[in-house]
Structure 1
């Protein structure tokens, strides 16, 4: 907050030590889109004072440890005696002492206590004990931090430990707010007070002097025809003492921003980045060979980055290389190389400040799983006018604190292409937002963003400021008018539903299908749609099974699951296994989701368009044509008891018939009668698997018991059952959700019939024949018995059905029901050579 106050000096209510001011600031920033993440306040209470060491006496104890018995002046009448195990200080040094009653971070309470034969009346503190870093090797000596004071001074104030820090959430489209400069500009605009731009410094004119660093921008493969780098500035500081400690005020601000202090050179580049938003990189200038070339990577090239990892580069990666282009210095906008890393022996540093294209940096960062403070800013958009000014700020700080001198020559290669103004109708903000903004209000609010506004009749010609690369379309400027005009001024209007809308037939069916399973006690889960080739082997899929052909993700979340699933069961079984592993032996889970079903063995490339370009209808159609079919499936896995055990009995385990019956009921939700026949399909048991089709012949899915080897491979219990169906084919079925007419109040007539057919004839086909032959009077067909034995002959079986007939307008006679039953039997006889048993 005190950093923000430096850039907005007119904001008198910005007191970093007052919690009320911090809370008020959080609310004000939230009103313009900077939402509060967390508010960090002082973590130390009680007396923390500057103390002067009067004398110290080393004492070696029986445990082999040597401690110092110190007499310290804390500004009180009598010195205090404190035991300290550190040895990096001497008599006369000013240190920081926590006195009895103080509470340090981590709820560490200080009290006078006896230790090593003395009563230690307080504690001399290290940086880590005060929350100022990880250094615990020695205690804080104020002179080492460049600080001074008098014994008894409040160390909490001296070290800035009484200050509040506000953490705000920056949305991805507002990269300029990823800096104190950006937040200060927004806050000053909100309050209507002046803003002090830290980047408003004079920079030397770039000239091709003999000692200037020559820079060549040679991007021969830009993404979307947008150069990967359009500006590159270099400044050199020589005669540095790289071991000079970073001033405490800078180290403390870095700490408040969540960064640790490393060295003067690195701290300065990080500080300028945090303040301005411009990432900088420092090279050891003595290790550079000639000039610098910016180019794309060549296939097979590698780079060892500053984190000591060797990375294989992609031809899309943008690189910083030496003048010959052969020696790689770093990945542009992401991380530098280890070859030119600055260290304690660095005496000359070359400061790089460049503008890199966001998409290039974002893809490199994700490709190499290497996210840095620099990449996070570049991929959100950095002010393209900032580079030489940020470099100048870093040079001034290095000269001031490192004792160096800046070269007169400066490099600034600028190949930026001016953006064309965006035209917007003056009345567009009012029409879209619903607030009656006056023309003067629109102009005033847009100018407050730094936009250059020119009136041309009823239109405005708008040129975005260099730091607002997100303003590319008229609606972007409308959003700015709404934001700066105040979200609170936008009325809340409850929209009225339009007549004739609501759920589509497909949505209604999917909801009813999920409700059916949930009502039966089966738990709905959600799994990620990513799988591995090993799952095909787990499922015992044949080598030519179409389900083995998956689309591979270019940038998978997990390396061991890079494929898009072609089956819901491929990922749903993981949820079942995880629950079983947690001790849940009776598992019944289902999932509704999309699967990816490639229809071609090659990936069809979708066209790409530059950011901000809105494709035409034909161009959008080409994008969607490249996407493979993604039908919506529903799958379930059942293991253990389906009916719980209790006083009423031992319960009942789930079996293949349960899975098959559930598929029937899922089709019945849409008013469709499913047809079930035996099948052999992985991952199911070949003798306990059913293929489920619809009256049109469309394949609905498969159900049954999983193959024993599949259960063993996946660590599932034996005889686990499952099913998977395609919901999209149901709603496309001609008979789906058809009007079945008026319910009849007349009594039903039932007729039983037993048919002898070949053992290989599916019962579902016989059922369909009876249904077709019986006519409109038939209401239901129910198979209630199956017999195989000597009475029906070898390779034959008897199927017993109960036929229910009903008329909508009268009571059926016995003769009518008998004739309908006979017509049904004749259809079965004609199709399958059936014999009527007992006839």
Structure 2
């Protein structure tokens, strides 16, 4: 929000200096992002009238002007392209010192005397425009000090507002906060009703239900649309970042900036019959004020005429081109409506638009403002452009306008939350200065917020208001009086920080990605099932909540590859989201990793090779070992995975994730030049840890027996291992696979697995008979369950 300092002071008188005002605004949560002083050094600058302008005899781009200063005529050499007879413009007299240190002296330019300088807005420090002389209204009196005529000195103040303070998108809304903080009072809003002088009206029908519960309009006939915008209004608009266009347009902008209610002015003679506010119809078009034609659907709201046949404005965002006001307009239809935020949010972005009206309606506008705004705009038009006003037309759906509800503020609760006591008189002063209705009760106060403060709904909201206006610096700093309770980490779960450190020790770097991704990216991964779309995305590329970590993580890996990083190893911990019918999206913590390039960094001691499935599997197994977990791997082939090089990951027989290489087709779609291996698992299932119990070490020797079996190629080691452990019995302490062989001596379609069985008892030494019996059971079990045979 950008506004003029002098305009604000008109609404809230205060003796605070400019610096004190800016500091106060920031202290109460309305952060001053930029403050630009205007017209600080304009002594000796007056309004001047150019009487004549003739070409300079020695320079093509210069003119010799005779200028009336109000105290006589002087000669000025000027190079501005818009210098012409009859123009009123600022003149810096000899001896003046302009902003920037420019001292004005009598000069001789190409042999012609010049007694001053005609000025642009930039040279005066009132506007960045340097294209020509600052053109003043025709009624400006020569000799009038420019500072007096333009209401200078002044300053433009730009605030960085938080989304909940929609009421501060107006000068008057800001004034209430300033008054409360500086111990002042906001000037009463004196906008008397303008009596109807003609009978002209338009019927208004509301057909959008709760989305537009109020619409106010008024006909003003016989307006002079060619009248110039008064200097005081034009300057306030400029200092608020709005370029004046024409009087009828400027009036609606002025009222919006002052009160916070967006408005629109239609050329009445271009409207047909009645006005209907309704949802858009699929396929119908509307040409907007900026000249673009858009195609509507029922998600948009429109103002239409001809009893609803033709859309003439995009509700809450922008007016239509065909019904705009021009210099030929004589009869005007003013409109001010209340559009609820949910009916406007996201619509501008879908069309690539950003308008002041849409910005305000998305955040919320006071539902009681439309009639006040209409009266204010009507009075300004009649006073400046003439005409005759018709009666105010108001269509309202009262059932959709919920009045503000009283909030109970307890004195004890206020003291407890703030950690200090605020005097009752101070509490009441602050609340009343903010425009809230206050009634004293035994325990505190009953407070009713005004309709513009719909951010105030609960007791804590009022406590926040007291804290920020009373001053955060007034809240005492006290140290805790009791010892902090230390909570030991759970032994039943590996800490996430431990998992992070472990992966970092395995040469992975942690990535942090947005929780929302491009819908097209999810489609490429075939991960759109139960995806949650955002109603109001930051951009089209961030329109969906992620259903998995890998799409974003691999995209980050790809960006590193594109920047000549051939070996990339990334991991991420974060939530993924899934839609649930009738409830909030389901959030699930996940852990994922992705890697490409060589398995180890460049070195001299060994030959490099690319990372593969088993390398990443080793990283995952080492991570699972932190939780004393044994993972199982079963071949799988999801849409994004390379057939034959991926597996589902199971713990205790339950699937918890996936590991493998990306499908070549997906890698091409993602423009990845390297083969990528990755895994993604449910974080809680992976980090869950059974409580460990201490056991004594056996004092008796262990026995090792090495066996080699020939099994079908399709038989997995996981299945063989499970069978061996089941057959060997409780004496088996460990099982090691130390060789896998295919080739000469092994039949095609089979493989040889060589394993070591380590057996041991805690209370005695195993006998040869017991060991031979355990080995025999293993051989029999493998033969029975997998058709395995001892390799000869």
TM-score normalised to structure 2 length: 0.85
1:636 and 1:723 in contact (8 A); partners too: yes
Q: 1:607-637 CA distances to partner (integer Å, 9 max, x unpaired)? A: xxxxxxxxxxxxxxxx34xx3x443332222
Partner of 2:560: 579
Of the three residues 503, 510, 513, the one matched with 1:527 is 513
8 A contact 1:585–1:639 mirrored in 2: yes
Alignment of 1:154-193 (within 5 A): 163-193=154-184
- Alignment partner of 1:13 is 2:16: yes
Corresponding residue number in structure 2 for 1:216: 204
1: CA distance, partners of 2:496 / 2:755: 32
Corresponding residue for residue 708 of structure 1: 664
1:3 maps to 2:4 = no
- CA contact 1:367–1:555 (8 Å) conserved in 2: no
Kindly provide the CA deviation profile for residues 658-700 of structure 1, in whole angstroms up to 9, marking residues without a partner as x: 2222222232232211123544444333243344322x21223
- Contact 1:750–1:802 (CA under 8 A) maintained in structure 2: no
Q: How does 1:282-301 map to 2 (within 5 A)?
A: 282-301=265-284
Where do residues 3-82 of structure 1 align in structure 2 (5 Å cutoff)?
Answer: 3-9=7-13, 11-14=14-17, 21-22=18-19, 24-41=20-37, 49-50=45-46, 56-59=53-56, 66-68=61-63, 82=77
Secondary structure of residue in 2 paired with 1:340: coil
Deviates more, 1:174-183 or 1:381-390: 381-390
Question: CA 1:751–1:44 in 2, change beyond 3 Å: closer, same or farther?
Answer: farther
Q: Which residue of 1 aligns with 2:132?
A: 138
Tell me if 1:271 matches 2:254.
yes
Match of 2:458 in 1: 473
1:719 and 2:675 aligned: yes
Query: Does structure 2 retain, via aligned residues, the 8 Å contact 1:98–1:125?
Result: no
- Would the alpha carbon gap of residues 762 and 497 (structure 1) be closer, same or farther in structure 2, given more than 3 Å must change? farther
Aligned residues: 782
Q: What is the CA-CA distance between 1:134 and the residue it aligns to?
A: 7.2
Instruction: Indicate how the Cα distance of structure 1 residues 36 and 553 shifts in structure 2: closer, same or farther if over 3 A, else same.
Output: closer
Check conservation: 1:298, 1:315, Cα contact below 8 A: yes
Deviates more, 1:704-713 or 1:582-591: 704-713
Asked if 1:786 is matched to 2:740, the reply is yes
Residue number among 426, 437, 444 corresponding to 1:452 in the alignment: 437
Report the CA distance between 1:39 and its aligned residue.
Answer: 2.5
Please give the alpha-carbon distance, in whole angstroms, between the structure 1 residues aligned to 2:322 and 2:33.
Answer: 38
Q: Which runs of structure 2 are paired with 1:425-824 in the superposition (5 Å)?
A: 425-437=410-422, 441-455=426-440, 457-458=442-443, 460-492=445-477, 499=485, 501=487, 508-530=494-516, 535=521, 538=524, 550-559=531-540, 562-597=543-578, 604=581, 606=582, 623-624=583-584, 627=585, 629-648=586-605, 651-694=608-651, 696-731=652-687, 736-742=689-695, 744=697, 749=702, 751-756=704-709, 757-775=711-729, 778-804=732-758
> What is the alpha-carbon distance in structure 2 between the residues aligned to residue 129 and residue 448 of structure 1?
41
Q: Hey, what does 1:17 align to over in structure 2? A: none
Task: For residue 739 of structure 1, report the CA deviation from its aligned partner.
Answer: 0.9
In structure 2, C-alpha distance between the alignment counterparts of 1:743 and 1:43, rounded to whole Å: 88
Structure 1 contact 49–98 (Cα < 8 Å) conserved? yes
Tell me the distance in 2 between the aligned counterparts of 1:648 and 1:111: 80
- Deviation of 1:765 after TM superposition, in Å, equals 1.8
1:84 and 1:229, CA in 2 relative to 1: closer, same or farther beyond 3 A?
Answer: same
TM-score by structure 1 length?
0.80
**Corresponding residue for residue 192 of structure 2:** 202
Q: Secondary structure at the match of 1:633?
A: strand
**1:810 to 1:303, Cα distance in 2 relative to 1, 3 A:** farther
* Cα distance change on mapping 1:816 and 1:396 into 2, 3 Å: same
Contact 2:547 2:578 in 1 (8 A): yes
Distance 2:560 2:413 in 1: 54
CA-atom RMSD in angstroms? 4.4
Mapped to 2, the partners of 1:662 and 1:590 lie a distance apart of: 11
